[in-house]
């Protein structure tokens, strides 16, 4: 790429790309390329001027080499990124604003007065018609106020005031639409799928490939607990699919052959093979945008109350206008009330506050699916932690494989990894990672894999039944036995590790010892959450009493429960809610899904099972529990902002009404100040809550 440096300081430069024009796609491609460089810390690309501002650390010459090597055609941009970047959206609304302002003042300067009267009258029909439609539905809302103000001004022959009112309303509509669309798109991008690997059917075998390699017509297998990454038709298998993320349906839908499956839904039970219809990421993005715009999930209780109050205030504004006119016989004073309504500001500032908080959460690697969950976080007094992968490190490691049937350790690890790779969980990931580090190739060697929630996995290899899972599953449910003469070895297993049991044909074949170390920040996070107002911190785990007690003491939880099943976690959450508590549940596995669904707010750790992430209301994307403290602070700040916005809007607009009624300011001035204050509060609401 050819470019020149326009100016620079230490760690920062502004360059100009030598080309006649830069398209939206080229600008986003350059932005993505520069963001992907480790030495670059910040980039902004200006497509209008073909410029780019770059902040970097380290070697200046390295940045220059990176720029010289850049070529639009050679950069592979992730699917859907350019289509959903928002660059084109911003340009469209900027142009709308410029055209609106230029045309308004050009009309005043150059259009003959008689023509301007006709134009204003024709333009007013739209607003008056909307007001009449609102009245026809038996509602007295903002369109009625707008129609009354414009209609009265025209009847008085005050064309200038009517024109100014419509101009201000038009500017407000553009800004409101722009800020809402931008906020929704920002949120949708944080919620878009990020499935990196999928099981593709090739010559009757399942092969793990990059999702970027999938094309329309390919067949992909979706195992239980995993997200369906592409739209497509089911060609084999049967499954119960959770579609709540797209449709809001609480009950899983049965999918059989010829059923249509949607990207972003989750296989709760069973397994299906789908023929991919569309491999690009944009369709999923569009579905999320639709879901966000239509879903009541976005609305917190305070937001809904504010909007309801805004609608209730409209009739009082109309009554105040009529009363002012009857008392003063002054149309200008009466119009001053119509120029100021609480609804516009309340209905713009409140949703933007929520959407901006959700966007800010994404900066901290927190994906929040709705404003009401942030409000619930702020109100919560009880938090329940799953242990494995949550309070303990997200990436436990295999320490030792202890054989019990005389087989080679690597062969046993190969079998375990072959089974575990189908159902990602922190323990399963540890086994697969151990095989990878030892360069053990574990190609498919088994028949259909069956996952038993919270217990283990069963399959058949070389006509032999193979199972892997917990002590309860292997020895109690499956009635497996310890090989003769190995009892002493079994009794002396190292107690400091968690154990995963592998059995073949009803006999214990190996015990995989997994180190599950406590997160360094766990104690500090629990302490911080208590200081932030959570009065009850609980830990629940399927591990033994000995392990649970040790972790509970070190973390500082108020209560702990060991050897619990998924239904036990869900029952505990329901019991706490029945006692009037607001409950947060944090987990990372398929077995945590019932409790995540039952809680007021379900929070999933991103390294865990996909079904947990999809069912959860909030996902923590980073490997740092301190983000939970950030989430609490963000939620508290959002509630304060909504309350402050409410007070500012009601206070300032009440002052405008008072000044208008007393004749201190004219109706057009009221409209200008009202719209300006609405815009300023909206812009302020878009700012970050946490510094």
3-state SS of 104-142 is HHHHHHHCCHHHHHHHHHHHHHHHHHHHHHHHHCCCCCH
pLDDT at position 210, please?
76
Longest Cα pair distance anywhere in the chain, in angstroms? 107
Of 324-328, 355-359, 521-525, least confident by mean pLDDT is 355-359
Average pLDDT value for residue range 373-395 = 86
pLDDT at position 250, please?
53
Phi, psi of 672 (to 5 degrees): -65, -50
pLDDT tier, 253 (very low <50, low <70, confident <90, very high otherwise): confident
Give 490-493's long-range contacts (Cβ < 8 A, gap of 24+).
Answer: 490/404, 493/402
pLDDT digit string, tens, across residues 578-630 = 999 999 999 876 667 788 888 999 998 866 656 666 677 888 877 788 999 99
Q: Does residue 289 register a pLDDT over 80?
A: no
Phi, psi of 403 (to 5 degrees): -75, 150
Q: Does residue 14 register a pLDDT over 50?
A: yes
For residue 521, CA distances in Å to 366, 556, 686 come to 18, 12, 31
Q: Does residue 84 register a pLDDT over 90?
A: no
Report, at the CATH architecture level, how domain 366-393+518-621 is classified. Answer: 3-Layer(aba) Sandwich (3.40)
Tokens 């609405």 locate to 678
pLDDT at position 556, please?
92
Cβ-in-10-Å burial (0-12, 13-18, 19+) of 73 comes to exposed
Q: Which of 425, 426, 687, 639 is nearest to 533 (CA)?
A: 639
pLDDT at position 511, please?
93
pLDDT tier, 444 (very low <50, low <70, confident <90, very high otherwise): low
Q: Does residue 188 register a pLDDT over 70?
A: no
Cβ-in-10-Å burial (0-12, 13-18, 19+) of 53 comes to middle
Integer Cα distance of 552 and 579 in angstroms: 24
Residues 6 or more apart whose CB falls under 8 angstroms from that of 20 comprise none
pLDDT at position 482, please?
92
The 3-state DSSP class for residue 439 equals: coil
pLDDT at position 396, please?
79
Residues 6 or more apart whose CB falls under 8 angstroms from that of 436 comprise 417
Of 24-38, 242-256, 403-417, 644-658, least confident by mean pLDDT is 242-256
Tokens 């084999």 locate to 236
Q: What is the pTM of this model?
A: 0.64
| 467 close to 506: Cβ distance less than 8 angstroms | no
State the chain's mean pLDDT as an integer.
82
pLDDT digit string, tens, across residues 28-68 = 899 888 888 888 888 889 998 999 999 988 888 888 988 99
Alpha helix (H) residue ranges in 295-386 = 301-328, 331-338, 342-363, 371-379
Integer Cα distance of 92 and 94 in angstroms: 6
For residue 23, CA distances in Å to 15, 45, 49, 572 come to 17, 11, 11, 56
Q: For residues 224-242, b (16+ Cβ closer than 10 Å) or e, as one string?
A: bbbbbbbbbebeebebebb
Residues 6 or more apart whose CB falls under 8 angstroms from that of 645 comprise 306, 345, 346, 349, 350, 353, 681, 685
pLDDT tier, 532 (very low <50, low <70, confident <90, very high otherwise): very high
Decide which of 55 and 444 is more confident: 55
Number of CB atoms found within 10 A of residue 479's CB = 9
Give me the CATH topology for the region 397-515: Calcium-transporting ATPase, cytoplasmic domain N (3.40.1110)
Residues present in the chain in total: 691
pLDDT tier, 12 (very low <50, low <70, confident <90, very high otherwise): very high
pLDDT at position 296, please?
43
pLDDT at position 448, please?
65
pLDDT at position 457, please?
85
pLDDT at position 614, please?
67
Integer Cα distance of 443 and 429 in angstroms: 16
User: How is the chain split into domains, by residue range?
Assistant: 3-77, 91-188+298-353+637-685, 197-280, 366-393+518-621, 397-515
Q: Does residue 541 register a pLDDT over 80?
A: yes
| 372 close to 300: Cβ distance less than 8 angstroms | yes
pLDDT at position 550, please?
81
Average pLDDT value for residue range 372-385 = 91
pLDDT at position 501, please?
92
Q: Does residue 473 register a pLDDT over 70?
A: yes
Average pLDDT value for residue range 118-144 = 87
Q: Does residue 279 register a pLDDT over 60?
A: yes
Which CATH number applies to 3-77: 3.30.1490, 1.10.3210, 3.30.70, 3.30.160? 3.30.70
pLDDT at position 529, please?
94
Average pLDDT value for residue range 341-348 = 69
**For residue 387, what is the DSSP state?**
I
pLDDT at position 271, please?
85
Average pLDDT value for residue range 393-405 = 84
| Backbone dihedral region for residue 353 (phi beyond 0: left; psi -120 to 50: alpha; all else: beta) | alpha
Integer Cα distance of 548 and 678 in angstroms: 54
| 393 close to 595: Cβ distance less than 8 angstroms | no
Q: Output the six-digit token pair for 234.
A: 């089911």
List residues bridging with 577 in a β-sheet. Answer: none
pLDDT tier, 178 (very low <50, low <70, confident <90, very high otherwise): confident
Decide which of 269 and 120 is more confident: 120
pLDDT at position 295, please?
47
Give me the CATH topology for the region 197-280: 2.70.150
Average pLDDT value for residue range 237-243 = 82
pLDDT tier, 195 (very low <50, low <70, confident <90, very high otherwise): low
Q: Does residue 297 register a pLDDT over 60?
A: no
């Amino acid at each position: 790429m050819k470019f020149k440096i326009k100016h620079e300081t230490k760690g920062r430069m502004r360059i100009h790309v030598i080309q006649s024009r830069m398209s939206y796609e080229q600008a986003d491609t350059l932005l993505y390329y520069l963001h992907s460089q480790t030495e670059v810390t910040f980039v902004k690309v200006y497509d209008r001027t073909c410029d780019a501002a770059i902040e970097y650390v380290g070697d200046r010459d390295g940045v220059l080499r990176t720029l010289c090597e850049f070529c639009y055609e050679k950069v592979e941009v992730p699917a859907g990124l350019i289509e959903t970047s928002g660059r084109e959206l911003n340009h469209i609304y900027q142009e709308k604003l410029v055209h609106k302002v230029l045309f308004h003042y050009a009309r005043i300067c150059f259009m003959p007065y008689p023509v301007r009267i006709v134009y204003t009258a024709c333009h007013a029909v739209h607003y008056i018609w909307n007001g009449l439609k609102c009245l026809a539905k038996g509602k007295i809302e903002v369109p009625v106020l707008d129609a009354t103000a414009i209609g009265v001004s025209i009847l008085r022959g005050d064309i200038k005031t009517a024109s100014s009112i419509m101009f201000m309303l038009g500017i407000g509509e553009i800004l409101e639409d722009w800020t809402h669309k931008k906020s929704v798109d920002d949120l949708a991008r944080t919620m878009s799928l990020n499935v990196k690997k999928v099981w593709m059917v090739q010559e009757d075998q399942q092969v793990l490939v990059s999702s970027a390699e999938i094309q329309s017509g390919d067949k992909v297998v979706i195992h239980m607990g995993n997200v369906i990454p592409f739209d497509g038709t089911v060609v084999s298998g049967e499954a119960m699919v959770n579609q709540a993320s797209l449709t809001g349906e609480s009950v899983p839908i049965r999918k059989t052959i010829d059923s249509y499956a949607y990207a972003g839904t989750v296989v709760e039970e069973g397994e299906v093979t789908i023929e991919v219809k569309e491999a690009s990421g944009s369709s999923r993005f569009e579905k999320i945008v639709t879901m966000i715009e239509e879903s009541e999930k976005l609305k917190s209780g305070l937001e809904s109350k504010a909007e309801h109050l805004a609608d209730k205030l409209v009739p009082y504004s109309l009554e105040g206008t009529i009363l002012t006119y009857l008392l003063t016989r002054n149309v200008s004073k009466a119009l001053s009330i119509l120029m100021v309504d609480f609804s516009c500001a309340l209905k713009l500032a409140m949703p933007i506050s929520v959407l901006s908080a959700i966007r800010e959460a994404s900066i901290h690697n927190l994906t929040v699916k709705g404003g009401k969950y942030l409000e619930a976080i702020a109100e919560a007094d009880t938090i329940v932690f799953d242990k494995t992968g949550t309070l303990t490190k997200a990436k436990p490691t295999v320490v030792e494989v202890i054989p019990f049937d005389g087989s080679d350790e690597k062969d046993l690890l190969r079998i375990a990894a072959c089974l575990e790779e189908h159902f990602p969980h922190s323990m399963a990931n540890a086994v697969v990672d151990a095989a990878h580090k030892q360069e053990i190739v574990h190609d498919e060697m088994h028949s259909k894999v069956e996952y038993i929630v919270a217990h283990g996995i069963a399959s058949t290899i070389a006509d032999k039944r193979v199972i892997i899972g917990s002590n309860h599953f292997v020895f109690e449910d499956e009635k497996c036995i310890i090989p003769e003469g190995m009892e002493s070895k079994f009794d002396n297993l190292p107690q400091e590790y968690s154990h995963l049991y592998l059995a073949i044909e009803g006999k214990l074949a190996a015990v995989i010892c997994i180190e599950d170390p406590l997160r360094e920040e766990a104690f500090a996070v629990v302490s911080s959450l208590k200081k932030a107002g959570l009065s009850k911190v609980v830990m629940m785990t399927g591990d033994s009493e000995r392990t649970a007690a040790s972790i509970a003491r070190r973390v500082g939880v108020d209560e702990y429960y060991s050897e619990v099943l998924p239904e036990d976690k869900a029952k505990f959450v329901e019991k706490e809610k029945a006692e009037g508590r607001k409950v947060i549940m944090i987990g990372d596995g398929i077995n945590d899904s019932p409790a995540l669904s039952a809680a007021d707010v379900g929070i999933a750790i991103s390294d865990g099972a996909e079904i947990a992430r999809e069912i959860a209301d909030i996902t923590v994307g980073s490997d740092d529990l301190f983000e939970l403290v950030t989430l609490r602070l963000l939620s508290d700040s959002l509630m304060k902002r909504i309350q402050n916005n409410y007070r500012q809007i009601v206070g300032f607009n009440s002052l405008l009404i008072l000044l208008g009624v007393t004749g201190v300011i004219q109706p057009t001035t009221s409209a200008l100040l009202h719209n300006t204050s609405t815009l300023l509060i909206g812009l302020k609401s878009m700012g970050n809550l946490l510094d």
